[in-house]
Chains A and B, each alone.
Chain A
Amino acid sequence: MTPVQGAGGGAHKASLTLALGFVAVLFGLHVLQGPRNVPLETFPALLFDRSPASFDQFVILHLRLPRILAVVMAGACLGAAGFLLQTAMRNRLGEPHILGLNAGASLAVVVLTAFPLIPLPVAAKPFAASLGAFLLFGAVLALSAGGRDRFSPVRVIFFGIALSAMANALVSAILILDEDTLEQLRFWLLGDSAGVQMSAIAAAAPTVVIGLVGAALVMPRLAALSLGDNLARGLGASVKRTRLIALLMAALLSGSAVSLIGPIGFVGLVAPALWPRLHNKPSVAALLLVTLSGAGLLLAADSLAAGILAPRELPTGALTGLVGAPVFIWLVLRTLR
């Protein structure tokens, strides 16, 4: 008999358990972390008594929990988006920040905040951010589709960086001219999780769910695509449609993450890179693994950002950049020989 394959659930059981345990531990540590020392006895009480009588309870339920939930969601989205981009483009350096999805989403949010043509409901923000991500990455793809080396990793990354620079320049210009918007978005633009509201989390939930379910459904097609365009077509997986679905889902996920805690780099790169044998085996279990890894990585980064210079806090995005950029350089040295 041949070993377990296809769905691949069994093969990743140990790694999945490990990743889940890691996320749970980080979650627990993060809840306990903060300038105010909340005694452990408060926690069991939270389960039974929801009256906002005590200040400890208020801190946990309204300050720490939303922040941690937002970080978990954004990290999961970035990990899944990175995996989608890397498998759909067959490019191990694919990542929402480098390929321009984050810059597109940021630009969309900044434009809508600075020039509110219609009063935009909170619930529409993740969709607007996703649309921005999709449009900018669409432009990156249109530019890199020509020539013999269609969608070669170097081309896609080059145009991703170039268009990100352009979008970021527009963001800077808008913010310099509009101080109100700058005040509102200053920290968010660096990737900041402090002060996330429950309403923002609820608003992002639909796009996160659609993105993750869509990603899970497109996994078998991406597995066929990993054999090359011609074999994928021979197996009956339409290459164009598969790529389009994967990129739409990546845009929804990046947009959700950006709308929650701003443009965060490198989590989408590092989460799949933790499991180097997964790239040619897209499956629902593999997606779950990178999703959990992304959540764990961003939780760890957020914990460090909040604690390393306590009581002062660093923006989370600054920390992921500090850790992620060297990983990116290492991957470039290894991949693009």
Chain B
Amino acid sequence: MRRINTIERPFCVLPDARRAQEVLASKLSATRLAAGFGRRIVIRDVDLAIEPGCLTVLLGPNGSGKSTLLSTLARLLPPRQGSVLLDGADISRRPTLEVARKLGLLPQQPPVPEGLTVAELVGRGRFPHQGFLRHWSRRDEAAVDEAMALTGISHLATTDVEALSGGQRQRVWISMVLAQKTPLLLLDEPTTFLDIANQVAILTLLRRLVRHHGRTIVCVLHDLNMALQYADRFVFVKDGVIKHTVADPKQCTGAIIEEVFDTSAIMVPHPQTGLPVFLPRYPDAQGAPA
């Protein structure tokens, strides 16, 4: 099989000052939200307003309820209490197709369906825009082409998705939600299991979508340091409740990290950007791994 270079863009940090001309309007918020599976309540008392035109990350230890919160915001899980509001209206009462034109969702590690080409899979993102008979229109075609160009996979259009590497597959999935053309994007761990080059490429893309295409993005990330380099707003979740909401990476202190992750960390600024990077703190220099 042909090896395809996945790194189309070099590492770059976009200047913060440039904002998109217009932020696509769509507001997502949660009030007094509680949700869970079966009898277990996973998240509770969540009050959250997603800032339009920003890249917001949900951070927290394993099992803290970040993914559950994202699923509830995306109407996959019905709330036990409270509600999720999309543009002021309860998301669970709005027609699901109408919601799908405003809010796109990429779950964690979706199974790759056999026998689909990249273009076919990306085209599935057009479902909520097609009419009753679902005719494939020129607008659908343009949306798919644009989505593939944005993630740098246009040259793979006729390749089978199964034949792609993990990093390329993730770009295909992101293209699919981009083809959905929604102002809001909710992504569950879009960089997990990817190597550093692919993580950088995906996070750079998400930032570009926020800065230059007016999208509002919420994603769950596991890599705290990566999140701090790319995101605008940080929501720290622990034991199912929101502990901190921070609007600037530089306000993320060691104290917050210690409280949320129950681990001691040293903050060092990134040599180029000054943004914080957290490293493990050892009890004494001898305690450090050899």
Binds A, one of B58-66, B129-137, B226-234, B282-290: B129-137
The A203-252 residues at the B interface (CB cut-off 8 A) are: 220, 223-224, 226-228, 230-231, 233-238
The B99-143 residues at the A interface (CB cut-off 8 A) are: 99-101, 104-107, 110-111, 113-117, 119-121, 123-128, 130, 134-136, 140-141
Q: A230–B136 contact, CB under 8 A?
A: no
Contact with B along A269-287 (1 / 0, CB 8 A): 0000000111111000000
Q: B157–A223 contact, CB under 8 A?
A: no
Q: B127–A1 contact, CB under 8 A?
A: no
Q: How far is the CB of B278 from chain A (nearest CB, A)?
A: 31
**Which B residues touch A3, using CB under 8 A?**
117, 119, 157-158
A230 and B116 contact, Cβ closer than 8 Å, known pairs A5-B123, A6-B135, A6-B136: no
Interface assignment of B263: CB less than 8 Å from any CB of chain A = no
**Which B residues touch A5, using CB under 8 A?**
119-120, 123, 136
Q: B107–A230 contact, CB under 8 A?
A: yes
Q: A223–B105 contact, CB under 8 A?
A: no
A227 and B115 contact, Cβ closer than 8 Å, known pairs A234-B105, A236-B128: no
Interface assignment of B49: CB less than 8 Å from any CB of chain A = no
Contact with B along A259-276 (1 / 0, CB 8 A): 000000000000000001
Interface assignment of A2: CB less than 8 Å from any CB of chain B = yes
Task: Place the interface of chain B in its size category.
Answer: 35 or more
Interface residues of A, dominant DSSP: loop
Q: How far is the CB of A289 from chain B (nearest CB, A)?
A: 14
Cα A227 to Cα B130 in complex, Å, equals 17
Interface assignment of A18: CB less than 8 Å from any CB of chain B = no
Interface assignment of B96: CB less than 8 Å from any CB of chain A = yes
Q: A235–B127 contact, CB under 8 A?
A: yes
Q: A234–B104 contact, CB under 8 A?
A: yes
A236 and B120 contact, Cβ closer than 8 Å, known pairs A1-B145, A5-B136, A231-B110: no
Q: How far is the CB of A336 from chain B (nearest CB, A)?
A: 16
Interface assignment of A332: CB less than 8 Å from any CB of chain B = no
Interface assignment of A325: CB less than 8 Å from any CB of chain B = no
A235 and B128 contact, Cβ closer than 8 Å, known pairs A1-B145, A6-B134: yes
A277 and B115 contact, Cβ closer than 8 Å, known pairs A2-B144, A2-B148, A7-B135: yes
24 sampled A-B residue pairs with Cβ under 8 A: A2-B145, A2-B157, A3-B157, A5-B119, A6-B130, A7-B134, A224-B124, A230-B76, A231-B105, A231-B106, A233-B75, A234-B74, A234-B105, A234-B107, A234-B177, A235-B124, A235-B125, A236-B96, A236-B99, A237-B96, A277-B114, A279-B114, A280-B115, A280-B116
What is B's interface to A at a CB cutoff of 8 Å? Answer: 71, 74-76, 96-101, 104-107, 110-111, 113-117, 119-121, 123-128, 130, 134-136, 140-141, 144-145, 148, 157-158, 177, 180
| Contacts A1-B141, A227-B121, A277-B115 known; 13 new A-B pairs at CB < 8 A | A2-B123, A2-B148, A3-B117, A5-B119, A220-B130, A227-B124, A230-B110, A234-B74, A234-B100, A234-B104, A234-B105, A235-B125, A281-B120
